[in-house]
Chain A
Amino acid sequence: MVKVYLWSGLRSLTDGKEAVDIEASNIREVLDGLQNAYPELKAPIAAGVSVAVDGKIISSDLTTSVSEESEIYLMQKLRGG
């Protein structure tokens, strides 16, 4: 299981939880797992998210691997200027 931290604004979609345990070995499984556990997360994930793994902000690559030791944060996807 990996622990995924969500931004607090998502609490209303996850029964108040800010951190969710998911069975996952890469980012694709993290995102799939989150949506399976909390279907309400489908919309914010579809709107665009990045995943920070040990401080590195991954904006697209679903194959990036994660492990139990990883620090994983769900973040909103960057829109730059």
Chain B
Amino acid sequence: MALDNAKSNGFKFVGTRPDRPDGVDKVTGRAKFGADMTAPGMLHGAILRSPHAHARINKIDTSAAEAMKGVKAVVTRKDFATDVHFESGLNGETWNVLENVMAGEKVLYDGHALAAVAATSALIARDAIKLVRVDYDLLDHVTDVDKAMEKDAPVIREGAADKSVPDGFHPNVVRYHESGHGDVDEGFSKADLVIEDSFKTEATHQGYIEPHACLGSLGNDGKGDLWCTTQGHWYAQKMCAALLNLETSQLRVTASEIGGGFGGKTTVFIEPVALALSRKANKPVKIVMSRSEVFRSTGPTSSTSMDVKIGMKKDGTITAASGVFRLQGGAFPGAPAEFTAMCAFAPYALENVRQIGYDVMANRPKQAAYRAPGSPMAAFAVESVIDDLCKALGLDPIEVRLKNASHKGTKASFGPRFEDIGLIETLEAAKAHDHYSTPLKDGQGRGISCGFWFNHGGETAVSLALSEDGTAQISVGTPDIGGSRASMALMAAEELGIPYEHIRCTIADTATLGYNEISHGSRVTYASGLATIKAAKDVVHKLCKRAAQKWDIPEDAVKWEDGCAVPSGANAGDFDPLPLHKITANMGATGGPIVGHFEATPEGAGVSFATHIVDAEVDHATGKTKIVRYTVVQDAGKAIHPTYVEGQYQGGAAQGIGWALNEEYIYGDDGRLQNAGFLDYRIPLASDLPMIDTVIVEVANPGHPYGVRGVGETSICPPLAAIANAVSAAAGIRMKQLPMSPPRIVAALKSLKDG
């Protein structure tokens, strides 16, 4: 977007910290989340899921379930669209989603859906699915990424690989990415020290506290309504329509309040199933997942296996870097291997760099996006090696990163040159922070890491309507996951010059606005914010026009100041400022309702960097790690509502702490997930964490009128590495596998002791 109307200071509302507009709803229990909706005559759905990691379905006998009293419909794959076709790689994504929503010829992982029942109560539905009889032929399975690439690994789906994959790889390797520049061999030959090491991370779940839930209603006229918890209701509309052979516009989707997503609610699971059941039963059907269904059947992030090699001179200059990143993405193509590869070395200005990514299938649930998909794992591997190089060469880790830091004009490791970026500013702020100079106590270790994410724009539509009393209502299409209504209202207040409290921001349904891309890629404050600003400018233009008509002067002789139309100069005439509410009071008689719009695909999200500092303490007897201090420094471009920016920083850090220390998908030899609940899949508790300090750096993004960069995802890029560096320092041994759970730390310490 153009710089023409950029604004970098002199804000009245932007940068303040007002109460969020939906605050009262959310502290009183009034807010309606996915599972909180009901409809007259509603049925309850339940889904039968495979207990096997890999099996051929010979027969599904639903007769006993159908005969059960209270059961109104049973669906299997045959009740879904038949004209969705398999294609290789990501070209077959619609088929991939269909196959994941309801298994076809095979079940591909423990938890894969294969039949569903709608009944008059949730208990009857749950009992009825137990009556569905399935005849399986069990097949060999594989859940580990390295094993899935081995010659004798079971093949999950022939033909899933696209043409990017070089000859000679196992069919489970379905996509290949390679990029970089320079000559890494020559670069390594110039280094004083080269370190090469291998790392592994386990799959983690986004862990949103609200399970997937929806209420679908679909008639035999092909018209339907869907209420669901989602990050993107237009995507849900499009996907459900494709999977059920509907016309997209005939399905209206309303997004509920969303109880966390972090990437995991960017796709559909139960929504098409509820609609299929509803179509068959001719009644509304509600489906709510159990927590174990969420773990077994929705998308965790990828597990990884990575090799990284970096060469450094004695003065800290990195001469070359290369990495191989293998990502397991479940039983479908789509693991974000290319992003792991492209993010890996992005913080550094390198003459010689090469990165390779493999997207590998295994018998696990289809991975879903999780906050900066692929990037945190790359940082873990790369920043661990840099840390070892710094230690071996006796160099300060921040100085080394400053010395090599990417800046405006740097040719990025993934190709193009960077525009304005704030990595150096985050490193300088970290270096100057009291945390970095505070001495450690005995037994503690300190780690630092940088992190990078691209951020995203995407299709965006906003409309802003004025009311007669001079208040405003904004309709946006991006679900509010963490306080975005407040940011939208602040930006609208800034443009309109009316109080923040006079603006109501609503998440519109799919019938009300044009297509809005999912709330992902840290795009909401950037893209919906930009669209809100543009819609408000459109309104301001129309307000000025009404004033010009009233004053009988040319339109361009009126400007907008502090919520009033005023003559633009002495020549324009002498009129008292005309406040917004006086224009709207009789807008019906002066040309009709005043509504502003913006519909476009903003390009210019602006990439983002962060630097984190962590102090950790390791109990050498039990292997338990305690995070004693944590500081997040991140470039926000411009913080619209600084409190919610801090919240994103803190939340990203906390999720990173969980990923680094405890969270992991644990599969048994039988290919079944062993820890499908919050007791055994342990996300951080209040008692696990310290306060999380934040520093907001602001290097304006030229692609946004106020300089906004997305902040939601970059905050999870550095933690895995920063914590690994701190824990490794405290333990006295390099930890190369996540999570660094107590048993792994005890084993590492034992291996150190045993030599």
Contact = CB atoms under 8 A, between A and B. Distances in A.
Interface of A: 5, 7-13, 40, 43-44, 46-48, 52, 54-61, 64, 71, 73, 75-76, 78-81
6 contacts: A7-B179, A57-B607, A79-B336, A79-B520, A80-B263, A80-B372
B459 interface: yes
Contacts of B458: 59-60
Contacts of B372: 80-81
B414 A48 contact: no
B91 A81 contact: no
A60 B368 CA distance: 22
Contacts of B180: 8
B338 A76 contact: yes
Given A54-B417, A73-B415, A8 B521 contact: no
B415 A80 contact: no
Contacts of A52: 415-416
Given A7-B178, A80-B372, A47 B90 contact: yes
Nearest to A7: B179
Interface in B149-166: 162-164, 166
A78 B176 CA distance: 16
Interface of B: 88-91, 162-164, 166, 176-180, 206, 262-264, 266, 334, 336, 338-339, 342, 354, 368-373, 414-419, 454-459, 520-523, 601, 603-605, 607, 703, 713
A52 to B, nearest CB: 4
Given A9-B179, A12-B164, A43-B91, A59 B456 contact: yes
Contacts of A81: 206, 262-264, 266, 368-373, 520-521, 713
B216 to A, nearest CB: 25
B716 to A, nearest CB: 9
Contacts of B459: 60
Q: Which of A47, A54, A76, A81 has the most chain B CB atoms inside 10 A of its CB?
A: A81
B376 to A, nearest CB: 10
A59 to B, nearest CB: 6
Contact of A10 (B90, B164, B354, B456): B164
Contacts of A7: 177-179, 338, 414-415
Contact of B369 (A8, A9, A13, A80): A80
A80 B373 contact: yes
B263 A55 contact: no
A43 B177 contact: no
Given A9-B179, A80-B454, 16 more contacts: A9-B164, A11-B178, A12-B163, A12-B164, A43-B88, A43-B89, A47-B91, A52-B416, A57-B454, A59-B601, A61-B603, A75-B342, A75-B414, A76-B338, A79-B336, A80-B266
Nearest to A40: B163
Contacts of B163: 12-13, 40, 43-44
Interface of A is mostly: mixed
Contacts of A80: 263, 266, 369, 372-373, 454-456, 520-523, 713
B603 A47 contact: no
Contacts of B414: 7, 73, 75
A74 to B, nearest CB: 8
A56 B166 contact: no
B90 A48 contact: yes
Given A43-B88, A47-B89, A52-B415, A57 B164 contact: no
Q: Which of A71, A73, A75, A78 has the most chain B CB atoms inside 10 A of its CB?
A: A78
A78 to B, nearest CB: 5
B417 A55 contact: yes
Nearest to A52: B416
Contact of B416 (A10, A43, A55): A55
A77 B164 CA distance: 15
Nearest to A62: B601
Contacts of A12: 163-164, 166
A56 B2 CA distance: 12
A56 B703 contact: yes
Contacts of B263: 80-81
Q: Which of A48, A60, A64 has the most chain B CB atoms inside 10 A of its CB?
A: A60
Contacts of B90: 47-48
Given A59-B457, A78-B521, A47 B338 contact: no
A58 B419 CA distance: 13
Nearest to A48: B90
Contacts of B523: 80
Given A52-B416, A79-B373, A44 B162 contact: yes
Q: Which of A46, A48, A57, A58 has the most chain B CB atoms inside 10 A of its CB?
A: A57
9 tightest A-B contacts by CB?
A81-B263, A80-B521, A52-B416, A81-B369, A73-B415, A80-B520, A47-B90, A8-B178, A9-B178
Q: Which of B342, B416, B454, B456 has the most chain A CB atoms inside 10 A of its CB?
A: B416
A76 B713 contact: no
Contacts of B339: 76, 78-79
A53 B370 CA distance: 27
A64 B414 CA distance: 21
B603 A58 contact: yes
Contact of B91 (A5, A46, A56, A78): A46
Nearest to A5: B415
Contacts of B604: 56
Contact of A59 (B179, B354, B603): B603
Contacts of A9: 164, 176-179
A71 B178 contact: no
A78 B369 CA distance: 11
Given A75-B415, A79-B520, A81-B520, A8 B89 contact: no
A57 B605 contact: yes
Contacts of B206: 81
A69 B696 CA distance: 36
B746 to A, nearest CB: 32
A62 to B, nearest CB: 10
A23 B417 CA distance: 22
Contacts of A73: 414-416
A50 B750 CA distance: 48
Contacts of B354: 8
A79 B179 contact: no
B415 A43 contact: no
A46 B164 CA distance: 13
Contacts of B520: 79-81
B747 to A, nearest CB: 31
A55 B603 CA distance: 12
Contact of A79 (B262, B369, B455, B601): B369
Given A47-B89, A80-B522, A71 B179 contact: no
A59 B518 CA distance: 14
A79 B454 CA distance: 10
Q: Which of B163, B372, B458, B713 has the most chain A CB atoms inside 10 A of its CB?
A: B163
Contacts of A40: 163
Contacts of B370: 81
A47 B523 CA distance: 21
A78 B454 contact: yes
Contacts of A71: 416-417
